[in-house]
Amino acid sequence: MFRIESPDFKDGGEIPGKFTCAGEDLSPLLNWTSAPEGTKSYLLITEDVDAPMGTFVHWVLYDIPAGRHDLSRGTGNAPALKDGMKQGMNDFGHTGYGGPCPPKGHGPHRYNFILKALDVPSLGLRDGAKRGEVEMASSGHILSETRVTGRFER
């Protein structure tokens, strides 16, 4: 079964501060196993489903090569990525990773790290594409998806 996890936090558990705006704002280590047959690339979307104005996008990463099975800590903070990977625009208004940063006193928020296995090697998009563009380009190409969810509050 296709599965993503992070050694930095347990599924449903607290995301440590260093991966949030309260700390270093560093993207966590993620790894995955058992991709479906025919996988040619991956797409990752990180979202806060409890944001006051609706779902808030924290990270969009696409054209992740099929041969990869992990993203090291800080991948989302790098100004340039290797292997043809591209980072999309987040709802903070910049490309790359923007860590959990819920309003103070708003209670715990859930952060989904959603990984999709795709049957195409590239979405054919430029760096900085928005979530909607990435989802439209991946439509009809998703073989499977998995997620790991962390929680954080300030």
Question: Can you give the pLDDT at residue 80?
Answer: 85
**Domain ranges in the chain?**
3-152
d(CA 92, CA 98): 7
Of 7, 5, 14, 10, nearest in space to 152 by CA:
14
Determine the 3-state secondary structure of 76 from DSSP. helix
Give bridge partners of residue 88 from the DSSP assignment. Answer: none
Of 102, 33, 103, 106, nearest in space to 68 by CA:
33
Residue scoring higher pLDDT (11 or 79): 11
Contact 89, 60 (CB under 8 A): yes
For residue 143, the one-letter residue type is L
Predicted model pTM: 0.97
Residue with tokens 């290797």: 82
d(CA 18, CA 44): 20
Over residues 51-72, mean pLDDT: 97
**pLDDT digits over 93-147, tens only?**
999 999 999 999 999 999 999 999 999 999 999 999 999 999 999 999 999 999 9
**Residue 65: pLDDT band by 50, 70, 90 thresholds?**
very high
d(CA 106, CA 54): 14
d(CA 22, CA 38): 40
Give me the CATH code for the 3-152 domain, please: 3.90.280.10
Question: Can you give the pLDDT at residue 125?
Answer: 98
